[in-house]
Amino acid sequence: MKKKPEAENENGQKLKRKDYEKELGKLQAELCTLQDWVKHKGLRIIIIFEGRDGAGKGGTIRALTEKVSPRVFRVVALPAPSDREKSQIYLQRYMAHFPAAGEIVIFDRSWYNRAGVEHVMGFCTKEQHRHFLERCPVFEAFLISNGIILIKYWLEVSNEEQEKRFQARIEDPVRQWKLSPMDLPARSRWYEYSRARDMMLDATDTKIAPWHIVRSDDKKRARLNCITHLLSQIPYDKAPREKIKLPKRSQKHAYDDQAPMKNRKYVPEKH
């Protein structure tokens, strides 16, 4: 297998994998500290990840959630709406996944679908799109006024890098599942998506709910930068914890508990 080149930043400096993993490990440890604080204080947090197809949202979310509890950090990636959901108030199906006390909900794409793919691909009317852009800041202000911490990220990938990533998906069988029916139109409609992005940012990049732009041509650096920024957005400290002591195994009801396992069907140990 051909070795991947080390990622370079705009100054040509390479980020070695071991350096990336070391820094990611530190950040993931901090995320665990944040997790304890969120549970301790009963915080409710929503994190939105948006961006073009191929911008690296999935990899960033995996890095973010790899070491934390899925009961605290919940990832929501909704499929296309059903006929019933299409008849609901637009935001209704998203609100069903909002956090309770002690939860962080990460939306891998969110209600901003209406500002992006739905608008560009004609899945909503111009009136629905306009109405969304007008009402979204009011809706988000309502969430924040009710104690929810809302953090929004837009992953910005260049035209050249998106093309390379799509081509890699086409050629690599283990990545082909990442090709969605929306990916190829995303390439041909690059400028339509650019204009939709610009309209979305103009309307919804507000003082109380700003968009944070992550340059994502370099996936590793994008993940590190995004997690570092996220940790800076939520005031937290170490939550109080009881000292944990591992109990000794009780000998009450002791027996040879391995004997019944001898004639079971085991997976062949080929590795």
Per-residue pLDDT of the chain (271 residues; tens, 9 = 90+): 334 444 455 555 778 999 999 999 999 999 999 999 999 999 999 999 999 999 999 999 999 999 999 999 999 999 989 999 999 999 999 999 999 999 999 999 999 999 999 999 999 999 999 999 999 999 999 999 999 999 999 999 999 999 999 888 888 877 766 677 767 777 889 999 999 999 999 999 999 999 999 999 999 999 999 999 999 999 999 999 889 899 999 999 999 999 999 999 999 999 9
DSSP lists the bridge partners of residue 86 as none
pLDDT value for 4:
44
CA distance 224 to 220: 6
pLDDT value for 8:
52
Q: What is the token pair recorded at 122?
A: 């004609």
Please count the residues of the chain. Answer: 271
pLDDT value for 242:
87
Q: Helix, strand, coil shares of the chain as percentages rounded to 5? A: 45, 15, 40
pLDDT value for 173:
77
DSSP lists the bridge partners of residue 73 as 104
DSSP lists the bridge partners of residue 104 as 45, 73
Whole-model pTM over 0.85 = yes
**Backbone angles phi and psi of 49, in degrees to 5:** -115, 120
Find all residues with CB under 8 Å of 178, minimum gap 6, and list them. Answer: 58, 169
Find all residues with CB under 8 Å of 198, minimum gap 6, and list them. Answer: none
Query: CA separation (Å) from 54 to 19, 144, 159?
Result: 24, 30, 10
CA distance 155 to 265: 48
pLDDT value for 52:
92
CA distance 167 to 190: 16
DSSP lists the bridge partners of residue 151 as 47
CA distance 207 to 141: 10
Which residue in this structure is represented by tokens 């082909």? 176
pLDDT value for 167:
87
Q: What is the CATH class of 15-157+192-235?
A: alpha beta
